Amino acid sequence: MLTASDADKGLENCDWEYKELSTRDEVIRYRHPVTKLVVVVKQARQNTDRTRSLGKEVEFYKLIKNENMTNPLILQFHKAEQDSRDLRLYLQSMEQGSIKDKIGQARGIGIEQIRRYTRSVASALAYLHDRQIIWNGCSADHVLLDLEGNPKISGFGSFRRKNKDGKTARLEPEEVHRRLRWLAPEAANASICSRRTDVWALGCFVVEMITWKDPHSECTTRTEVAQKMMRSGDPRPPTGKRDDESTPSESELLVFLDSVFVTKSSQRLTAKELLRQSQFLLLDSI
């Protein structure tokens, strides 16, 4: 795991004395008393699954920093701190919260918003995939909105780099358990992950926005999801029905989902191909 000094190299040097604004689970929001800058602090006790996940996030941000891979669609990272008890990540605050929060507040997500958010996330995926990075984190709670409603992706605790030696990238059992509802069949059944695994998860993210529920909502337990993925002839999550048939039409949305929910990963479109070919994501339709 990276040390705090290792993670801080070349990053913004600020006074991190903050006034606490709010706490939810293990995430705290702080505001600097002078600059008024608001940051989010994700923290975890040492030697836990969450600590390992946060350590992977630090590794991801160090990677993109070292390779100058800045992108406005990726949540900004300020610094990391680690002591004998805790690991803390200081991240950009996104004032409107996550897409998951928006769904939970029952404000509704119109089809035009769904298309805009989907295109942004697909663009972020194409950017990462061009750099041999697999996100393994696409879901409504990891797509965040700033004050103007612009989306950024976050949650890189399960990221992988595409193996150059030809070996298959794999997920740990805890990662499979945690993300089962968003996993493609090859990841759920064999722990195999690839850039096309991210594309299946993109479809699951769209399903969340359509149905206001987690993927595979007809399954009440992870065991039922696992059995469905292993034994069912159709492992896709149900998409539900929409009353909103404004442009783009519901048929375009369903065609998009058909192109990502392809059981055989080699036949699944890539994020870049989706951006070029999917009528649902065409720029001139937005």
State which amino acid sits at residue 222: R
Rounded Cα–Cα distance for residues 20 and 169 (Å): 39
Q: What is the pTM of this model?
A: 0.87
Q: Where are the beta strands (DSSP E) in 61-111?
A: 77-82, 86-92
Q: Considering the chain, tell me which residue range(s) the CATH 3.30.200.20 domain(s) occupy.
A: 4-92
Nearest to residue 188, comparing CAs of 137, 234, 217, 222?
A: 222
Q: Where are the beta strands (DSSP E) in the chain?
A: 19-24, 27-31, 38-45, 77-82, 86-92, 133-134, 143-145, 151-153, 160-161, 169-170, 192-193
Nearest to residue 157, comparing CAs of 51, 233, 26?
A: 51
Q: What is the mean pLDDT of the chain?
A: 85
- Quick one: residue 17, left, alpha or beta (phi over 0 = left, psi -120 to 50 = alpha)? beta
Give the domain 4-92 fold: Phosphorylase Kinase; domain 1 (3.30.200)
DSSP state of 270: P
Q: What is the CA radius of gyration of the chain?
A: 19
pLDDT in tens, 3-36: 434 434 433 444 444 444 444 556 888 887 777 7
End-to-end CA, the chain: 42
Contact 197, 134 (CB under 8 A): yes
Q: Considering the chain, tell me which residue range(s) the CATH 1.10.510.10 domain(s) occupy.
A: 99-285
CATH architecture of the domain with residue range 99-285: Orthogonal Bundle (1.10)
pLDDT in tens, 113-141: 999 999 999 999 999 999 999 999 999 99
Q: How confident is the model at residue 283 (pLDDT cuts 50, 70, 90)?
A: low
Contact 198, 134 (CB under 8 A): yes
